[in-house]
Amino acid sequence: MTLRIVSYNLRKHAASGELTGIAEAYDVDVLCLQECDSDALPERLHHLVLADTTRANRLGLAIYVRDDRYEILHSQVFAVQKSLHDRVLAPANERLLAVHLRDRDNGEEILVGSFHAAPLTALNSLRRKQIAAAHDGMRSLAPGTPAVMVGDFNYPWFIRGLERHLTTSGYTLKRTTQPTYLRYKFFSGYFDFVTSTGFEIERVDVLPAGASDHRPIRLDAELAA
């Protein structure tokens, strides 16, 4: 089974008008969003249905699913440890939205998560705790089920250390082929990642830039043999 996933940080919903075109052009199975306005999202984007969104976050998360191929068994929002930025500006501890899906053809079950880590004002140690908590949350939703988590990890430096940390927890990190954050001419970076367990992912491609300061990422995830 091959699962086509696109993840996109919309920059405070600014790139929302691009979503239908992305869903159609790239034949997406699951679309994971960050920094979206949950109340302004349509129920459908071409062949995708809105599975769920966060509700308390100022910068929301959402997941769309190809419902003619996947049955949505369950979805859940997970809170993780807050950063100082979260405490001062707005509550934003709902940093993972996960969906539990079943393939309608073969009955295989998978987990997909849309994740948004704390901003660069926080320490990498906090983001590592948030990533670990998000993985634990996904495991609790359906223990032993292959899982893939995508999104804005806000982790442009010391990525090798994060990779070693994840290996001990049974997850693999996959970086993109090009930088994904392009807001400033003097600074770009690899912010949008993929972590997985039970999947094989050959590469993570970066799609053309739109209205967001992040570029969308695309990957094909295959269940490990």
Q: Domain extents for the chain?
A: 2-223
Residue 153: predicted pLDDT: 94
* Paired sense of beta strands 60-66 and 217-223, if any: unpaired
Q: What is the predicted pLDDT for the residue at 56?
A: 80
CATH superfamily membership of 2-223 = Endonuclease/exonuclease/phosphatase (3.60.10.10)
Total-model pTM: 0.93
The predicted structure's pLDDT at residue 85: 53
- Output the DSSP codes for 89-158: H----EEEEEEEEEETTT--EEEEEEEE---TTS-HHHHHHHHHHHHHHHHHHSTT--EEEEEE----S-
Show pLDDT as tens, one digit a residue, over the chain (225 residues): 899 999 999 999 999 999 999 999 999 999 999 999 999 999 999 999 999 999 887 789 999 999 999 999 999 999 887 655 555 455 567 899 999 999 999 999 999 999 999 887 878 888 899 999 999 999 999 999 999 999 999 887 777 878 888 877 889 999 998 999 987 655 678 889 999 999 999 999 999 999 999 999 999 999 998
pLDDT value at position 171?
93
Q: What pLDDT was estimated at residue 146?
A: 98
Secondary structure of residue 45 in the 3-state scheme: strand
pLDDT reported for residue 188: 72
Say how many Å lie between the first and final Cα of the chain, rounded: 10
The pLDDT assigned to 92 comes to 60
Query: What pLDDT is stored for residue 83 in this prediction?
Result: 57
- Burial pattern 135-173, b for ≥16 Cβ within 10 A else e, equals bebbbebbeebbbbbbbbbbbbeebeebbeebeeeebbb
Please give the pLDDT value at position 79: 87
At residue 108, the pLDDT reads 97
pLDDT recorded at residue 53: 97
* pLDDT for the residue numbered 185: 59
